[in-house]
Structure 1
Amino acid sequence: MIKYTQNTLDKLEAIPEQCGYILRYERGNFQSGYCILDNKKVVVLNKFLQTEGRINALIEIIPQLNIDTEMLDDNAKKLFTEISEKADAGEDEA
């Protein structure tokens, strides 16, 4: 169960950042609150999202990124595994 707190958001933001992604909050018409610039390893989130929306966007986007778990610290690795398993379970249901 993910808690919608600033602490959770900070932990989620650490996952792509530890793998060399730049995480930016910008204005724009983002369909689901984010976009990925693959060639530059940049993740752009809609800056108008509240904490809950930012967390949900990161939970949705992190499994799509090329994350090297060897680069993650133990806390980030545990959270990444939890998110990935939920994403895999969601795909199985679809």
Structure 2
Amino acid sequence: MKIHAIYDDLTNIASRFGYIIRKEKGYFRGGNCVLNTQKIIVVNTLAPYENRVAIIARVLAELHLEELSIKPIVRLLIEREREHAAKSEQIPQVFTIEMLKPEPVLLRKKRPIQA
């Protein structure tokens, strides 16, 4: 199955759940939001289709799709994004000032040049 067909299937599934797909250009990854009770998925048109598919699949991974008839390859992709999201949630996202400080650079003594 080609990536464009997978993208179309994912957008159709998202629209069944009330999401509006907005295609925008810019320097952003994409994602979902709620604006005045409208559920929106923003997709960056400058990004490759693989990234666009991953963004929509990650949003759909948060929904209950068990009863919905979905092509096996599309369902597998959504499940992989669900697993990927679960793994990234296990990593703590707490940063401290110490983490932002640069690593100390160890200076080596210069050796004399031997002729």
Q: For the superposition of Structure 1 and Structure 2, which TM-score range results when normalised by the shorter chain?
A: 0.5 to 0.7
- Kindly tell me: are residues 18 and 83 of structure 1, through their superposed partners in 2, closer, same or farther at Cα, counting changes over 3 Å? farther
Alignment equivalent of 1:22, drawn from 8, 17, 20: 20
Alignment equivalent of 2:48, drawn from 47, 50, 54: 50
TM-score relative to the length of structure 2: 0.54
Determine if contact 2:58/2:81 at 8 Å carries over to the other structure. no
How many angstroms apart in 1 are the aligned matches of 2:39 and 2:50? 24
Q: Report deviation, 1:69.
A: 3.7
Determine if contact 2:33/2:40 at 8 Å carries over to the other structure. yes
Aligned structure 1 segments of 4 or more residues deviating by more than 4 angstroms: 91-94
> Which residue of 1 is the match for residue 75 of structure 2?
79
Alignment equivalent of 2:39, drawn from 11, 17, 41: 41
Of structures 1 and 2, the larger Rg is shown by: 2
Determine if contact 1:21/1:43 at 8 Å carries over to the other structure. yes
- Kindly tell me: are residues 23 and 56 of structure 1, through their superposed partners in 2, closer, same or farther at Cα, counting changes over 3 Å? same
Q: Report deviation, 1:90.
A: 3.1
Q: What do you get for the CA RMSD once the two structures are aligned?
A: 3.3
More helix by share: 1
Structure 1: unaligned runs, 5 residues or longer: none
Determine if contact 2:31/2:56 at 8 Å carries over to the other structure. no
Alignment size in residue pairs: 87
> Which residue of 2 is the match for residue 11 of structure 1?
9
- Kindly tell me: are residues 82 and 47 of structure 1, through their superposed partners in 2, closer, same or farther at Cα, counting changes over 3 Å? same
How many angstroms apart in 1 are the aligned matches of 2:55 and 2:19? 15
TM-score relative to the length of structure 1: 0.63
Q: Report deviation, 1:50.
A: 1.6
